[in-house]
Amino acid sequence: MTAEALWQLFCEKESLPVETRFEAWQFGGAPDYLVALVMQKIKTATASGYDLYFLPGEAEELPRIGEYSVIEDSVGQAVCVIRTIKTTVVPFDEVGSEQAYKEGEGDRSLMYWRRVHEEFFKEDFAGCGVKFDLKSKILCEEFELVYSLFDVVSFSENDAKDICQWKYEGDYAVYNYPSWDECINMKLAFTNEKTRQEQYYKVLKAGEKLGYFRLEEKDNAIELSVGIVPDKCGFGNGDMLINLALAKISELYFAYRFTIIIFWINTFTIYY
């Protein structure tokens, strides 16, 4: 979806004039994972090099309080809208623990933030021909999520029953489940209410069911399994579904390893 199309959906929902100004951009580093953190309200802040906004030929303007931004994924598809609520400028070595926590990355500590962002800013500044040091000015921006194309919600018994109706073709038929009654007799995990509540999450796209993911603690690691509604396969939806799952893992289980369980026919999807 284009930024303009998503913006129109947001304006219609909020009764906002479509002519209202907005910027469209993507996060640096790991844009899909970072915007997944935003869509789950884990990440509510970001940071950028202040002086880089004033370089000759730089078209990007400083973010302003109240301004809207459409955030895109790594391939330029618009996925959410945010609104800037606060901006501050401080030297890199004076960025505080509150900012680090609100950025939502890693274990959300200031130590982690400084380690990964020092490396990021060195590369970012160098790419613009500017030297970075610990006194370089950093623009810290806080924002709120106001519209999201994707949502992660609770997984119900009806959702579990729906999975039994999903039918894949060809090699992918290995993912087909038997009837609900048979699944109960087999004591499959999603037939147990407590397990559903603790381990399963439904993913919506534009209000419609896209699929689900499961996070299971096993052997001192988090085992991640996913499923996509059959008629939504093959449209590039898997990337964001997995990133939403990774964001949830980061929120709940940062200290753990995680493994992705996948059949050989889908090995091309493993790139994390």
Query: What is the tens place of the pLDDT at every residue in 231-268?
Result: 998 888 889 999 999 999 988 886 555 566 555 445 44
Query: What is the tens place of the pLDDT at every residue in 166-196?
Result: 999 988 898 899 999 999 999 999 999 999 9
Mean pLDDT rounded to a whole number for the chain: 91
The whole-number pLDDT of residue 264 equals 44
The whole-number pLDDT of residue 218 equals 82
Looking at the DSSP bridge assignments, the partners of residue 208 are: 205
The whole-number pLDDT of residue 269 equals 45
For residues 58-75, average pLDDT: 91
For residues 66-95, average pLDDT: 97
The whole-number pLDDT of residue 268 equals 44
Query: What is the tens place of the pLDDT at every residue in 116-167?
Result: 999 999 999 999 999 999 999 999 999 999 999 999 999 999 999 999 999 9
Amino acid at 87: T
The whole-number pLDDT of residue 172 equals 86
The H-assigned helical ranges of 40-192 are 97-103, 110-127, 157-163, 180-185
87 phi and psi angles, rounded to 5 deg: -135, 140
The whole-number pLDDT of residue 257 equals 58
Residue matched to tokens 């087999």? 186
Among 102, 103, 79, 97, smallest CA distance to 24 is for: 79
Among 124, 185, 149, smallest CA distance to 71 is for: 149
Distance, CA of 126 to chain centre: 27
Looking at the DSSP bridge assignments, the partners of residue 84 are: 143
Q: How far apart are CA 125 and CA 49, in angstroms?
A: 8
Calculate the CA dihedral of residues 157, 162, 164, 170 and round it to 10 degrees: -150
The whole-number pLDDT of residue 253 equals 81
- Residues 230 and 192 sit within 8 Å (Cβ to Cβ): no
pLDDT at 74 over 70: yes
Q: How far apart are CA 124 and CA 120, in angstroms?
A: 6
Tokens of 232: 């939504």
